[in-house]
């Protein structure tokens, strides 16, 4: 269970404007649910300077599982829109 207030604070402090769980769980050596992939969008000022590995550790601590972060651009172009539509939004910046 992701603690919403801690995740919201992290996203706001790190320039994350949108964060969602990828619909398909990772297939790896860990038990189901122990690894997740989150799709992340940064504001334009943060995108170039983000420390992805550090952010992965911080999100993992909050989520209670190992989290890998990817950007929408890292999803194969033909699959990007369907993948984004199926994702479970866990944080979206409110304007």
Instruction: Express each pLDDT in 37-73 by its tens digit.
Output: 999 999 876 655 568 889 999 999 998 888 999 999 9
C-beta separation of 71 from 39 below 8 A: yes
- Say how far residue 72 (Cα) sits from the centre of its chain: 10
pLDDT of 87 higher than 90: yes
How far apart, in whole angstroms, are the C-alpha atoms of residue 2 and residue 6?
Answer: 8
- Position 20 confidence tier, pLDDT thresholds 50, 70, 90: very high
* Predicted model pTM: 0.81
Q: What value does the mean pLDDT of the chain take? A: 85
């Amino acid at each position: 269970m992701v603690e919403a207030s801690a995740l919201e604070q992290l996203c706001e402090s790190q320039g994350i404007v949108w964060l969602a769980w990828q619909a398909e769980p990772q297939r790896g050596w860990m038990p189901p649910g122990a690894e997740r992939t989150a799709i992340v969008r940064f504001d334009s000022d943060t995108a170039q300077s983000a420390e992805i590995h550090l952010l992965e550790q911080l999100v993992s601590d909050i989520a209670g599982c190992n989290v890998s972060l990817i950007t929408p651009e890292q999803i194969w172009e033909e699959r990007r829109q369907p993948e984004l539509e199926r994702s479970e939004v866990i944080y979206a910046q409110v304007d």
